[in-house]
Each structure stands twice: as C-alpha cells, then as structure tokens.
Structure 1
Amino acid sequence: MINVTKSFLGNKAKFLGYVDSIYASGWLTNHGPLATELEDRLRDYLGVRNIILTNNGTLALQIAYRALNLSGSAITTPFSFVATTSSLQWEGIRPIFADIDKASWNMDPQAIEARIDSDTRAIVATHVFGNACDVEGIARVAERHRLKVVYDGAHAFSVRYRDRSVLHWGDVSTLSFHATKLFHTIEGGAIVTNDDALAARIRLLCNFGIVDTDTIDGIGINAKLNEFAAAMGLCILDDMALILEQREEIARRYEDQLGDYFDLQHQQPYSQRNHSYFPIALANEDQLLRCRRALNAKGINPRRYFYPSLDTLGYLQPQPPQMQSRTLSRRVLCLPIYPGLPRHIQDTVIQTLVQESSRRSQRQTERFWPQANATDLMEQRFSLPDSGFKNIY
C-alpha cells in the first residue's frame, strides 16, 4: 500500500556510525553528545535563538503552556491535529475555537476577537500543512488583549516568513519530529523561543526541574531526547536539501495537473512552503469518499487530514459550530508526497482523481442536459462552485 507519507531514513552507514559512537560512550540519554550536537545544528539550520529538544511534539506543547504559566482558556483552531486541542485540555486549559480562513485554512485573526473570554490568556494557532499563519494579524490581536501566542509548528520545519524562520513569531513555537514528518528523529520534537529566560525555564521543565545533582527548582517532567533518536536526526538533517527539493518537485506536479480540478490551499503572502503535505479540497464529502475508494482500489492510501473538525470532539461539547472548519474537514484529502515517491504512482493518483472528477461532471451534465453528445462531454472542464478557495499551493 502506498501511504500518504513514508519515513525518510537517510544514510544507513552514517546512522550505524553514530550508533557505534553511542556504544563506545555508553551514553544513551540525559543530554548526550549527539543530542547536544543536533540541538546546535538545528539552531544554526533554522536560524533561531533558542531551541530545546523534546521526546515528542505533544509534550513540547504541554511544556510550552506550563512555561508560560497558562491557565483559564486559550483561543485555538478547530482545523488541526487533535494534539493541538487535547494538550490544552490535558493541562486544564479550556480550548475556545475560532474559525479558519477559507483560503489559507489557518485560524482567521478576524475570528479570534469575538471568541475571547474573560479568562482567556493565550492564542494557540497551527501553521496548517506548513502554510504560515497570518502571524502579523495574530500578533496585533494578541497585543491588543495582552495574550500569549503559542504556534503549533508541527508541519512548519524549514518554513520561512519574510525571509526568516516562521518559528520566530509568537512567544513560543513547537515542532514535531515524528517519523511522519519531513524532518524526524523517529519520535521527537522541539520548543523554540526568542526569550532566554523562558528557554531556561523550559529546560528545567523538560528535566524534572533538576538544576544540578544537588538542586531541584520546581516541578518538571521527563521530555529529554535520547541518543538514538538524535542520531537519526543528524542523518536526516544532512539530507534536508534533497528532501525539500524532491517534495517541491512532487508538489508542483500535483499543482500543475490538479489545480484546475480541485481547490488548493492558498499560500500565505511573504511565506515559503516546505511541501510537508499536499492537500486537496473536493467538492463535498461524497466525492471525497468516492475518490478515496478509487485510490484504495489501486493500492494507494490518501488520508483525511484533518478530520473531524476539532470543535465536534465529544469531550469538549457543547461547542458553537465553526462552520468553515467543519465544511473543510469533510472535503480535504491529503495525497502521497515523500522523497522517492515513484513517478508512475503519482501519475496513477492524478489520473484517478481526474477521472473521478470527470465522471461527476458527466453525471451533472447528463442530468441537466441529457441530449449532450459524447464530444461535448469529453471537452467540458470540471469546475467547482465558488467556495472562496484559490488554486494556489
């Protein structure tokens, strides 16, 4: 089965060389030399001031909330991976959803202010599919209401906004280095901040609050990255130029071939994408399910991502419906994109989707113009109702 992603494993000989060094030193975790090297290299690669490695991206979010002393409620997006919301609820922070912009698919700054409550202390936004949020718009809202800003940057590795890392924005940004991500450490994550004092607090929180062998300064948890995970990260980082190049090539081909048939995510101005995913929005859920079945029949497994809209989660009810997110979540399908994706597989994905779209168009034409001849049907182009989405990836 061809899945929506496939983990890039890098150079095996290089990885085994790092493993040999681990065996030689006997240092497996607790800020070992490979984790330290990876942190230093990522700081330089991303161009950020402080980066603290963690053992997964969800803990990175939870520690960020703790480090900022968040309580009460936080305004967040309903269109994201569930961890964006569940991490808030887990930490006793009430999620309040603000709807998304129908073009960028990110949280709409104009929707935030109406949702701010008396106990709201933060905005938690996601750079969805690696598309930068309207960070300047969100910053203005946060400044007016004295709110902290946390960015879930799980998809935003290497994404740039106005010629620097998008991770510079907000009080804290978090990353996921899960095996499905374009940069990974098998399991892992990171926290980024420009605030040195906050970075020091985050480091304590990641290591039980331990200052040294004789001192514990407050409560903490174990979020440290182990040496084997760091070894994988060092191998992957060496190949980032190749990974980004191949992803861009695949994404551009999808865009060229599918842009006239489906709605694509509108890229945030002044931003540079990393092509971590290639999502398309179909006309409706029925068409999505038909297309998925057609691809599954050919051994291809696209993913409904993100589904369902998080404002529908049972443990958060009742919630006012966020209609842009609910509608989009029923329409979005992510297509296979990863280095090494065979060209003929991508051709099959494209051809299958175009054929399914054309069948729908033909059925509509036969319904309204039953006398249309075969030539007319072959020449017509599939078009969606005006939904406000732009055909730009």
Structure 2
Amino acid sequence: MPASALHDLPLIAARPPRLSTLIEAIAEIEASGIYTNGGPVVRRFESAIVEQLYQGQGDCLAVPSATVGLMLAIRHARRHHAGDLAMMPSFTFAATAHAAIWAGLTPLLIDSDPDDWAASEEAEADALRQYGDRIAVIVPYDTFGTGIDTDRYARLSAETGAAIVVDAAASLGNRDSNGMGFGGSASFATVFSMHATKPFATAEGGLIYSADAGQIAEMRAMSNYGFGNARSALQPGMNAKLPEILGLLALARLATISDIAEHRITLADRYRAVLDGLVTPQKVTMATAIPQFMPVLLPEAMAPHRAAIMADLAAHGIGSGHYFSPHLAQQPYFQQSCIIQPTSIADAIGGRMLSLPISDAMTVEDVDRVARALRMACARQLLPAQPQAPLVHETVLIGGGPAGTAMLISASKQGRLPDLASGLVVIERSARLGGGQLDSYAITSDSTAETFLSAAKDNPHPEIAALVDHPAGREIARHAGRLGVPLARTGGFLDGLGQRIGQVVTAHGGMLLMQHEAIDARQTANGLWQTRVRDAVSGAEKVLLSRHIVLATGGYQAPEDVAAAEVAGMALGQRLGDRLLPSDRFLRLGGIERLRERLAGTPAPRIAIVGASTSALASAALLLKSDLALGAGAVTLLHRQPLRPFYPSAEAALADGFTDFAQDDICPVSGFVYRLAGFRLEARELVLRMLGVGGRAPDPRMRLLHLDGSRDAEAAEMLEASDVVIGALGYRPHGLPFFAADGSRLALSADAPGRPRLTDQQCRIIDAAGEPLSGAFGIGLAAGFVPEGRLGGERSFRGKANGLWLWQNDVGQLIVDQIAANAAAARRAA
C-alpha cells in the first residue's frame, strides 16, 4: 500500500473528552452560575481522584496547569528553608526549571540514571555534598511516568532537611502493584499534568496530590491569593484555581482512564516486542504506567543520523520527536540562569533519544507499521557516504576544560577570538566546555575569586562579560577577598564561561565537537596534522586535517609513579603497600569521607604526606579542616624542596619577618617574591604558620620533616608508623599518540617517566630530544611551560608553572600569537 493511502500517525494525537457530548453537564454549570473558585464540579473531581486512585487517603488540589502546580508546590515547600537552590535532573521539561525560578530558587541541574533516565542517585549525592543546606528543595522527575522510588526521596528529605516536590507530569493514572496511584505514600507534593497531550488529557490543567491533607489545605489557601477566612492575605499567594469547565473534562477523563491505560500499555508492549534488538527502551517500574509516547534510545551508530531517520519517518506519515533533547543544561536560558553539574549520562540519553507515537486511536497494526519504517530508515543510514574533498582547518584544539577555554579567553581579551574561531575545531570528551574536572575536588583554589571573574569582567564580548552577573558568577564573587574559591563551587561559572565562548566560536564559523575524543594525531608529508576523532555516543570515527594542533588535555597523577618514588632509601609502594594513597584520590570530593572510613577504629591516627607541591599543602589543609580526631603531631609533611610563601614584594616579605630569599628569588618584571615557586592563599597561610613567620604559632597537629639527606632514619620511622601516607608528588601531562608521516610513532618528551614536560618555552610540543613539533602546541596542568624574559618569573625557579591567570593571559596569548603569525605567513605564501 503506498504511503499516501495510509493515515498519518502523529507523535501525539490529543484526544481529550469531547465537550459536545457533555452538553447537559455544561448546562448545569451555567445554571449554577459558578464557573471557578473551587466550584462543585472541581471539588467533585478532586474527591473522585482521592477515592479512585488513592484509596481515600490524602487530598489533592486541581490547578490550571502543572507548571502553576509546580510553582505553587515549590514555593510552599521552600517556606522553612534558607537555601537558594532547587536540585532537579537536567533531563526534564523546561517547566520544571521555570517553576523553581518563579518560586525564587536557582535550579541546580544534575545528571540522570542510565536505566530509567530519572535523576541519578550518585549525582544527587555529589550535589548534596557540594551544596549542602543551600539545597532548599529537591525536585525529582518521574521521567515519562515510569515510577521513581518516592520512599527513597522521603528518606533523603529526612537525612538532609531538604523538601521534596515530585514532577510527575505524565504519571496521573499510574498505579503500583497494590492499585495505589503514583505518589500515594508520599507526604510531600506530587504534581501532575492534565494537558491535552498527556495520557490524562483534558484541554489544560494540573493536579497536586499529597498523602498529607494538611499540606494540600495550605496550598489551597495559597492558590486563592493566600487568603485566610477574612479574605486577608496571610501568606504568599496566586490565582491557581481550575475553572469548572476544565473540571468537567477532568471528570470525564477519569471515567475512562482505566481503559485508556490498558490500550496504551498494550501498544507499548508491542513496541518492545517488535523493536527488540534495534533500540533500547526505558526501564519501567510501575505496575501500571500509561505511556504518553514511546521513548527509546537509538543504537549509538544511528545517533548522528537521528534527524535523517526522523525525516524518513515523516515521509511515511509517521511523527516522531526527541524528548528531551536538548535537555535543560543544553538550553541557552538555563545555561545562563542555572548551576549545572556534569551531565554526561543525560547528554548521551538525549543524543540517542527518539520518541515514537502512541495515541488513544492507534492500533497494534499501526505500531508494526512504525517499527517497519524505523528499521528501514536505520538501514538506509548504513549505506556508504559519498566521498568529499578534505577540509583543512587552521587549528584543532583538543580539550575544552579550564586550560583549553583559557586559550580562547586569552584570544577574546585581545579581540582576536573571531579570527581564531573562523578556522577552529574544539574537541571535548564531555558535553560542555569550561569546567573540566575542577569541581570534583574538595579543596580551595590557588587562584582568587577575582582571578576567576577576570575572565569575564569587561570582556569585549558582551555575552561573556554578562557572566559576572550570572548566578554562577555571583557564587564565585561570594569568595572575593578570601583564601581561594572552593573548587566544587567553580563548575557552574567555568561551564557558563565555556558555553559563552562556544557561542562566539560557532558564531564566527568554528566547530564544537562535543562528546568526541581524540585518538591520535599524524603529521602529513606537507606538515599538516591528521587528528583521528571518535564520537563517544555513536562510536563513529573521522579524521580532521589542520595546520595547527593544541593539546589542552590536562595532567594526571600516575599511581605507579607515586609508588616508585624513593624516600629514605626505599620505594614508597614497596614500604607501604596499601597504606599509600595518591593525593589525587584523597583530594577529590568524598576523599575525606573514604579516609574516615579507612581509619575507623584507629583512636589516634597518624598520617604522613610526602611532597612539597600545592597538592601536598592542600592535602594537609583538608586534613586539618576535617573532623578527624587528630592529636598533636598527627600529620607530618615530608618534603625535599623548601616551602616558600609568595609575597607581593621584598618589602612586604621583610615587613612580615620573612627573610629566606635572595635576588634570584624575586621576579624582575613584577617584583614578586617567589612569584612561581611560592605557595598562595590557603596553602600560603599554612606554610607561614608552620614556618613560624612573623610570630605565627604552628598548628600543633602538624609537623614538618625536611628530607635533606640527614634525616632518612627519622623519615623511615615516620613512614613505618603512619596509618596512611598521602603521596603528593605532582602530575604528568596527558599526552596523545603522535605519528610521523611514515606511520612511525613519535617519541615525545611527555612520554618519559616521572614528571616530564610536554612543551618548551614557546608552548610548542617537544619530542624526546627536546625538538619542537611544527604546528603543535600544549597548554594546561603539567604542560611544563615556565614564564621567562618579558613574562617574568624568578630565575631560581626549577619546577612547572600552572595557574588559571597564566593560561588565560600570557600562555594563551603566546599560542594565539604563533598560530596567527603562521596563518599570516601561509596567506602571504599563497
């Protein structure tokens, strides 16, 4: 049968009760003269819901829409909470976040569970650790009505003090195995939609249910302007009353909801049977879950072809969609107004999501037709693509975290980002630019709040400059004048910065390959770079050709390097076994909790830290701020390099009583003492205290042991007696396999053992012999660049220089200048 002879199958076919069949009931409303204000029809509907779906328990309130219901319920829930955040999954509809904003809260967007696509328990736990009592309300979403565990949220509320409001837009009519409606055991508010597109379809409307009838009574008053008995406002209020005519439609829908549920569930079951092996369905836990449509995940290989597949279905008269793609964290307004946690699972779900039609009028044969069309559409996308001429990009930037975006920020400050962007491709493994993994650490930054904000403040691009007034920018500003910013608080700002940088890049012709990973790079015979890239969602690979390549892939702590480090005549791993803990694991969120569990039952723990890095001092500060029972001398820092504090001038150092510096320790450009080697902010304060500078009293719980060769026996005894030893021995650069034109592997300096350099003093990636690779640059943690000459820095410095300000200014500019000069030379030669 030709497609033209078939009836169309829209994704959602609204089919609310027909008013034309309710003429007598409409006449009764007209005769009563009551059209709203909680009239008898609406109250009859509310009572029927409680009796038929909730076995007579609790109460409910009919409202004009689910969005209004969420606004009302969230505002009610936050009354006794000082927090300013509403935690919710990013994979939900815009109404959820809008409602929280209208209720006076900032949405905190978190990741999803890969099976049921609701909020991830792990992501919730991480967010609660980071933001604590700032989270006033938790707003889980019963994703597509499959039945989240409301008992777990009751426990979570009891544990944290946060209120709960469940967004259950598509769940009205769903029941558990005992016949109880969804949310029936919950004393908090559950909000449903009765929009025409929902399974429980009227023209429009919403419903708030709670097993606590007292809460509903309070919200009922709020829905009537907050009036008390004397029509005098006693609390926040609004007009949130459902008109009688919509109550009539709701009553009619309730009368048929059981039959509708059975029919739609039959269609969903048929989909699962006929699409088995092709797509991935959502996990369903409710005994009766009425589907609004059929959400499935395409195979990873098909995800890049979703638009073509949907067009193919449309050509056969079949509607489809991709709820919710983009999810909230991918939408411009919410990127500007929310705090966003990592959402890699939501990104992956959204990237593969395909919504297929289910309606009251569809048949099982219609489902079979959709399945056949979908299989054919997917098969057509597997046909070989036509070859295309290679496109040569100017620059491929690998890594969109703090270092990668720092280079782009540097270009933006110079007014050169549009030119750089015109030939730029950014490859980033996650779904967002900006924050990288910084917000996964439990320590404070060694950059000031003012340094973070300087990336946006007075930036030539207005959308970047506006970030200062974004909630995430204000979060950073709260820490101005303090000893750094908690890194767990930086993600929202850095991601917002990345999002705006990305907008500028794409607006000027650049390309963002999000959720892509660089596999390797090969230099061609004519000096170009071939970068092999893999799509993390689909697994598809492609090759990018460019004149320049920039690695901003960060650094990592290799546990084997920590174990191999020799202290007091023996490798740490050999001496300590499982008592050795790499500092990177300890400094992450949850690290102190894991250490507490490890030391449970140890009445007077002894902890040693090995190293003189910022990580070593950060580890010590984290321990001293914790609630661990640390007695006198419980923490020992074993260090080979002297501990040097930063000072803004020699005069400031001398005035503070610090004299342990010489002329070579002073930066000739800035006049700073130990500009590069000196500890800053929180680490600096701890160093000054432990050195007793200016009469400061050392913390009695900590002591220093300088490994100068004469105290090996004491160091060995200390290590043997320690319950845990934290190895804080620096980071090595994340490299990328590089190959020559003949296919042979290029040995890089970064491949050497220990803590090698990735780059030279011009930020050029260097090979094992120290020779630069043409057109290849590196920036970021452990890259190894050290300022010199006009950039300043003390002559005595022998380490690696890292820092956000440095990357966003001098280092970034150095790379941008070379790329621009090379591009100009290439144009002249052409």
Give me the TM-score of the superposition, normalised by structure 2.
Answer: 0.42
Partner of residue 298, structure 1: 316
Distance 1:108 1:134, change over 3 A: farther
Gaps of 5+ in 2: 1-7, 386-536, 540-830
3-state SS in 1 of match to 2:140: strand
Task: Please say if 1:147 is aligned against 2:162.
Answer: yes
Distance 1:91 1:160, change over 3 A: same
Q: 8 Å contact 2:93–2:327 — kept in the other structure? A: no
Task: Please say if 1:130 is aligned against 2:151.
Answer: no
Q: 8 Å contact 2:110–2:124 — kept in the other structure? A: yes
State the distance in 2 between where 1:319 and 1:241 align.
Answer: 39
Deviations 1:301-343 (A, max 9, x none): 2121112121123233363430100111121111110111155
Which residues in structure 2 correspond to 1:268-279 (within 5 Å)?
268=285, 271-279=287-295
Deviates more, 1:164-173 or 1:104-113: 164-173
3-state SS in 2 of match to 1:308: coil
Which residues in structure 2 correspond to 1:1-393 (within 5 Å)?
1-10=8-17, 14-47=21-54, 48-68=57-77, 69=79, 71-116=83-128, 117-118=131-132, 119-161=134-176, 163=178, 164-168=180-184, 169=186, 171-212=188-229, 214-268=231-285, 271-284=287-300, 285-317=303-335, 319-360=340-381
CA RMSD of aligned residues (A): 2.3
Q: Which amino acid aligns with 2:13?
A: K
State the distance in 2 between where 1:24 and 1:276 align.
Answer: 36
State the distance in 2 between where 1:362 and 1:137 align.
Answer: 47
Deviations 1:123-167 (A, max 9, x none): 110111111113344333332212211110111112234532221
3-state SS in 2 of match to 1:330: helix
Q: 8 Å contact 1:172–1:193 — kept in the other structure? A: yes
Distance 1:196 1:206, change over 3 A: same
State the distance in 2 between where 1:259 and 1:362 align.
Answer: 22
Q: Which amino acid aligns with 1:339?
A: D
Q: Which amino acid aligns with 2:110?
A: A
3-state SS in 2 of match to 1:31: coil
Q: 8 Å contact 1:150–1:170 — kept in the other structure? A: no
Which structure has the larger Rg?
A: 2
Q: 8 Å contact 2:112–2:346 — kept in the other structure? A: yes
State the distance in 2 between where 1:36 and 1:23 align.
Answer: 17
State the distance in 2 between where 1:332 and 1:224 align.
Answer: 35
State the distance in 2 between where 1:90 and 1:31 align.
Answer: 24
Question: 1:201 Cα shift?
Answer: 1.1
Deviations 1:163-188 (A, max 9, x none): 32221336111111111111133111
State the distance in 1 between where 2:284 and 2:365 align.
Answer: 27
Q: 8 Å contact 2:167–2:191 — kept in the other structure? A: yes
Gaps of 5+ in 1: 365-383, 387-393
Deviations 1:11-56 (A, max 9, x none): 5554222111112222211111111111111111221411011011
State the distance in 1 between where 2:384 and 2:278 align.
Answer: 16
Count of aligned positions: 366
Give me the TM-score of the superposition, normalised by structure 1.
Answer: 0.86
